[in-house]
Amino acid sequence: MDFNFQTIIVVLLFVGAVFFIIKKFFIKSSENNNCGSGNCGC
């Protein structure tokens, strides 16, 4: 497996995805929702 451009992006995406899931589920205090005037719909 050679470390080309594509592989780097994949790794970044993977890490980003993992962080996202951890943040969503394991951080207690994160008020995931702060839609004062934003467009959340959730």
Tokens encoding 18: 């993992």
CB 29 to another protein: min, Å:
11
Which CB contacts under 8 angstroms, 24+ apart, belong to 20-27? none
**Interactions with another protein, residue window 2-41 (CB under 8 A):** 4-7, 9-10, 13-14, 16-18, 20-21, 24-25, 28, 31-41
**Alpha helix stretches (DSSP H) within the chain:** 5-26
Where along the sequence are the contacts to another protein (CB under 8 A)? 1, 4-7, 9-10, 13-14, 16-18, 20-21, 24-25, 28, 31-42
